[in-house]
Structure formats: structure tokens, C-alpha cells
Amino acid sequence: MGELSLGVVAVLVLVLAAEFVNGATDAPNAIATVVSTRVLSPRSAILMATVFNFLGVISGTAVAITIGKGFVQQDTMTLSAIGAAMVAIVLWSSLAWRYGLPTSETHALVASLTGAGYAVGGMDALIWSGWEKVLVGLIFSTFLGFGGGYAILLAIYRIFHRATPRRVELVFGKLQIGSAAFMAFSHGSNDGQKFMGVFTLALMVAGLLPVGGAFLIPWWVMVVCALTMAVGTAAGGWRIIKTMGMQMTKLRPYQGFAAETGAAVAIELASRLGIPVSTTHTISTSIMGVGAARKFSAVRWGVVGEVVAAWILTFPICAAIGWLVASAVQKLSV
């Protein structure tokens, strides 16, 4: 078994730093709509998201296992490469947060791991079957997210078409609290689990956990990662909330309920199948579906374009940063 050296501690801290950034920049997507509709105050929404994100993280390990053993070979990966991947995530996500752009930590993670893995082991270090699940995840987040939000809003129109506006506001003002909690839970069950997988992979590479056999996530890793993401969520993410919940399209409580429920169902289904999806991508497309169901022009497509551009850029930028940092560390250590 290996030793808990300073280098190992540094890499594990970088993993937790990436988890913290995930909580601060990605988790706010789960509560953006409930804040923008004024059903909950930012303080109350962040507290609720913190609790339900934590519960979601400890609800399973299927996604963590996919990330931990589905993209890079354990026997060729190095601690420096894992650390390089985490640096890429923190840099890119922090830059996007600076401009209020919601990014996908899912896409950032798989791209940076791939770039760093290629730097230290070439093509032999990469497991391309993992990217098949990423592509399936894109289908989940795009079509199920948009379609779910669209379909749920149409169902609400049909069921409540005779209700007064005040009645609708009262009903969905309460229901949206539940849908926001469901959304926060689903974020934890998918996004929150990903860094548990990386943390466990780092422990295996360091020789602190056995390599081979079943990829098991220690219970204490689940708790540490869940608490770290919870602290990141509590740190806030007002800029992301503003972009997602206010600038993309104006939402009422019943519309926020439709967007959150549609996105949460898609994410939770993916989580149980071990498919990593982007919470940002899913709630964004669900909000678009809700806006389009109301009126196509209700969606501010200029803002949508900026968000989509950030998604697309995430893959090459994070892969490049991961490769550059891992290559630099490898040359310095020779």
C-alpha cells in the first residue's frame, strides 16, 4: 500500500477544490428558477439546495463508478495527471463564473481527464467507451430536458385552463418548492457523484486503495465530497442564478415547476443508469422548452447562444488545459 505523501494530499485537495467549484457554479442551476419566480429567497433556496445536494450525493455511486473507471486506464494514469485535470476544471469554471455563464462540470471533467490522460499515456491510456455514455447523456439532457419542460407545461395548461391566475400562483408557489428540492437532489445524485469517482481513482493511483476488482467508493469519500459540494453551494452563485432564471426567459411559478420537474426526471433517470449528464445543459434546455411552449419568441435566444457557446468551448478548452498542465508537470519531473 502507498503512503499519504504531500503530493497525494495536494491532488486530493485539488479534487475537492473542483468539487467546491462544482457546488458554487453548477449547483445554483438547481435553484435558479425557484429564486427567479420569488417563491423562495436566495438564502432559503441555497440552504435547501445545500441539504438536498448532500442527500443526492450519498444516494448512490453508479455515476461515480462510470467516471472513476470509464475514461482513463487506472494503471497508466498518474497523480499529476489527475491534478492537472482538476486545475483545468477550476480555471475554466471560475472564468465562466466570472462572466455569469453556466458551464457543465460534467463536460469539463471528462474533457480534462481525457486531455491529461493522453499527455501521460497516449491513446492507450484512454477508454473511449466512456464517451459513448457522454453522448447518450447529451441526448438525455437535450431532448429529454427540452421535451420534459415543454410537455409538462402543456399538461399544466390543459389541467388548469379554467383556474384563475391567483389560484395557479398559489398552487404552484407551493409545488415549486418540491420541484426545486427534487432538482437539487438530482444534481447531487449525478454531478456530485462525479468527483467521488475521481477522488477514489486518485486513492487507487496513489496505492491507498486496491486496484482491480470492483470499483468501490468508500463511505467517507462520499461524505467528504458531499460536504465539500454543500459548502460550495452555500457560498452562493448569484451570477449563475441571474443568467439561468432571469435572463434566458421570464418565469412564473408554474413555469419554474415545469422546468425543474422536467430536468430533474431526466437527470435522475440518467443517474440510476450510471450515465453522466450535465445539470446545466438539462435545466437550460428544460427552461427553453418551457419558454417555447409559451411562445417561441419568449426565449431570449441571444442569451441561449452565449450559454451554448460556453458548452461547446468547454470540451476543447478543458482538454487542452489538462494536456498542457499534465505535459508541463511531466517534463518538470523528469
Instruction: Please state, in angstroms and rounded to a whole number, the distance separating the CA atoms of residues 187 and 265.
Output: 11
Instruction: Please state, in angstroms and rounded to a whole number, the distance separating the CA atoms of residues 282 and 216.
Output: 28
Instruction: Please state, in angstroms and rounded to a whole number, the distance separating the CA atoms of residues 183 and 176.
Output: 10
Instruction: Please state, in angstroms and rounded to a whole number, the distance separating the CA atoms of residues 131 and 140.
Output: 14
Write down the mean pLDDT value for the chain.
Answer: 83
Q: Is the distance from CB of 192 to CB of 226 less than 8 angstroms?
A: yes
What would the pLDDT profile of 126-175 be if each residue is shown by its tens digit? 888 888 888 888 888 888 989 999 999 999 999 998 899 889 988 998 89
Which residues neighbour 273 within 8 Å (Cβ) at sequence distance 6 or greater?
A: 62
Instruction: Provide the pLDDT for residue 13.
Output: 95
What would the pLDDT profile of 316-328 be if each residue is shown by its tens digit? 999 999 999 999 9
Q: Of the segments 127-131, 210-214, 234-238, 302-306, which one has the largest average pLDDT value?
A: 127-131
Instruction: Provide the pLDDT for residue 137.
Output: 86
Which residues are bridge partners to 231 per DSSP?
A: none
- For residue 300, pLDDT over 70 is answered with no
Q: HSE-up of 291 (CA within 13 Å, CB side)?
A: 22
3-state secondary structure of 74: coil
Instruction: Please state, in angstroms and rounded to a whole number, the distance separating the CA atoms of residues 190 and 18.
Output: 15
Instruction: Provide the pLDDT for residue 105.
Output: 79
Instruction: Please state, in angstroms and rounded to a whole number, the distance separating the CA atoms of residues 56 and 137.
Output: 18
In terms of Cα–Cα distance, which of 24, 52, 94 is closest to 238? 24
In terms of Cα–Cα distance, which of 22, 23, 248 is closest to 256? 248
Instruction: Please state, in angstroms and rounded to a whole number, the distance separating the CA atoms of residues 313 and 309.
Output: 6
In this prediction, residue 44 has a pLDDT band, given cuts at 50, 70 and 90, of confident
Instruction: Please state, in angstroms and rounded to a whole number, the distance separating the CA atoms of residues 92 and 313.
Output: 10
C-alpha cell at 88: 483545468
First to last CA, the chain: 24
Under DSSP, the state recorded for 176 is H
Average pLDDT over residues 245-258: 73
Which residues neighbour 301 within 8 Å (Cβ) at sequence distance 6 or greater?
A: none
- Please compute Rg for the chain using Cα positions: 20
Cell 407551493 sits at which residue? Answer: 174
